[in-house]
Amino acid sequence: MPTLLTSRLTTISHHIDEEQNLHPEATGEFTSILNDLTLALRIISRDVRRAGLNDVLGLTKDTNVHGEQVRKLDTYSNDVIKRAMLRSGHICIMASEEDDDIILTPSNSKAKYVLVFDPLDGSSNIDVNVTIGTIFGLYKRIDPYSDETATIDDVIQPGYKLQAAGYALYGSSTLLVYTTGHGVHAFTYDPTLGEFLLTKENIRLPHRGKSYSVNEGYYYKWSENMRQYVDFIKTPSSDKSRPYSLRYIGTAVADIHRTLLNGGIFLYPADNSHPNGKLRIVYEANALAMIIEQAGGRASDGEKRILDIKPDNIHQRIPLIAGSKEDVIECESFLKGEHPMQKII
Ligand code: AHG
Ligand code: MN
Ligand code: MN
């Protein structure tokens, strides 16, 4: 009896080519940029995994065996991405968490794409060997046919203008999760091949989950409505839908990835020491919000859709509530003081 072969072997390059066909106007630049970005992510993955060894091999924080300056992993990752993105000549301007100001490229006036990124998310987890990641978003410049130098306005576009977004996760394996607006797809890196292989296509979030992800240490800094929401999901219910379990890694991209796969809700809310939350909208929240929405979830600042918010500056902070649609809507109703349970309390 002949067998029907269905599970094709797909690399990230194959997939980007296929996605490229969904963006006919992108004429190959898209493919070239995303392939250069995956090269940078493979280099960062290799060096993240060596980070612990640097000390063992006598690589101090200051110099390495070649006498080169061994810089902190996040500034090193920052340089790797910036240098990789110069190759294609298709990027005109960049913004990074590690650079105070915009980064113009030599091909500035001719290129028409914009990259925003957090080179290493979860830096506080590097030294304790906990999952960290890289977050990125790709825009077209506001006027792709302009021959003027790109400006900060090309970087602080609202998230709904993103052409692509995604993240790498340096955990038990290295994952790459991305979307170009046609679903969310995950690839696992095989270091023996040097390839990212497709492992999950069209990831969909459950409408409701069973876990929440927030730093409860700030409980007494939150608004009363946020405290009431978290109290609510921790209170056992007769239908056993509550309590939720708490999962918090402290690396946004890892907490979001678990929420993407299992459902539930991630929260980095405002508090009285972070009036606008801690996460940055341009290179963290927007990309994560696009991924969550493309997988059928919802992402807001507690009130407004993240992707609709026009950033004022590169490093603007924003509260982020993201995950399963029903969970985020329920949290938003608490934050507005409109949830029926708040009438009883
Ligand atoms: P980064 O390492 O890029 O500065 O980001 C760290 C962020 C984010 O990854 C995580 O969700 C958050 O910091 C954790 O903050 P708390 O330690 O305040 O919970
Ligand atoms: Mn970060
Ligand atoms: Mn960072």
Residue 164's nearest CA partner among 329, 326, 19, 14 is 19
Using the mean position of ligand 1's atoms as its centre, give its distance from the Cα of residue 123 in Å.
8
Alpha helices in the chain (DSSP H): 12-21, 29-56, 73-88, 152-155, 224-234, 252-262, 286-294, 325-335, 340-344
Q: Which ligand has the nearest atom to the CA of 120?
A: 3
Cα distance between residue 27 and residue 248, in whole Å = 41
* CATH architecture group of domain 12-200: 2-Layer Sandwich (3.30)
| Secondary structure (3-state) at 225 | helix
Q: Copy the structure tokens of residue 290.
A: 């696009």
Given this model, what pLDDT does residue 55 score? Answer: 54
Q: Could you report the per-residue pLDDT of 272-288, keeping only the tens digit for each? A: 999 999 999 999 999 99
Using the mean position of ligand 1's atoms as its centre, give its distance from the Cα of residue 134 in Å.
12
Q: Could you report the per-residue pLDDT of 115-171, keeping only the tens digit for each? A: 999 999 998 888 788 999 999 999 999 998 888 999 999 999 999 999 999 999 999
Q: Whose CA is nearest to atom 16 of ligand 1?
A: 250
Q: Whose CA is nearest to atom 12 of ligand 1?
A: 250
Ligand 1 pocket, Cβ-based, cut-off 6 angstroms: 97, 118, 121-123, 215, 250-252, 268, 278
Stated pTM of the model: 0.93
Given this model, what pLDDT does residue 54 score? Answer: 63
Given the candidates 3.40.190.80, 3.90.1150.10, 3.40.50.720, 3.40.50.300, the CATH classification of the domain at 211-343 is 3.40.190.80
Cα distance between residue 275 and residue 222, in whole Å = 10
Cα distance between residue 197 and residue 15, in whole Å = 9
Q: Could you report the per-residue pLDDT of 187-197, keeping only the tens digit for each? A: 999 999 999 99
Q: Please give the residue that has the higher pLDDT: either 133 or 66.
A: 133
Q: Copy the structure tokens of residue 104.
A: 């113009």
Q: Copy the structure tokens of residue 152.
A: 């900060």
Sorted by where each begins, the domain ranges of the chain are: 12-200, 211-343
Given this model, what pLDDT does residue 150 score? Answer: 94
Using the mean position of ligand 3's atoms as its centre, give its distance from the Cα of residue 9 in Å.
33
Q: Whose CA is nearest to atom 14 of ligand 1?
A: 250
Cα distance between residue 278 and residue 198, in whole Å = 32
Q: Which ligand has the nearest atom to the CA of 78?
A: 3
Q: Could you report the per-residue pLDDT of 298-307, keeping only the tens digit for each? A: 999 999 999 9
Cα distance between residue 94 and residue 295, in whole Å = 26
Confidence of residue 64 (pLDDT cuts 50, 70, 90): very low
DSSP character string of 106-150: TTTTT--EEEEEEEEETGGGGGGT--EEEEEEEEE-SSTT--SPP
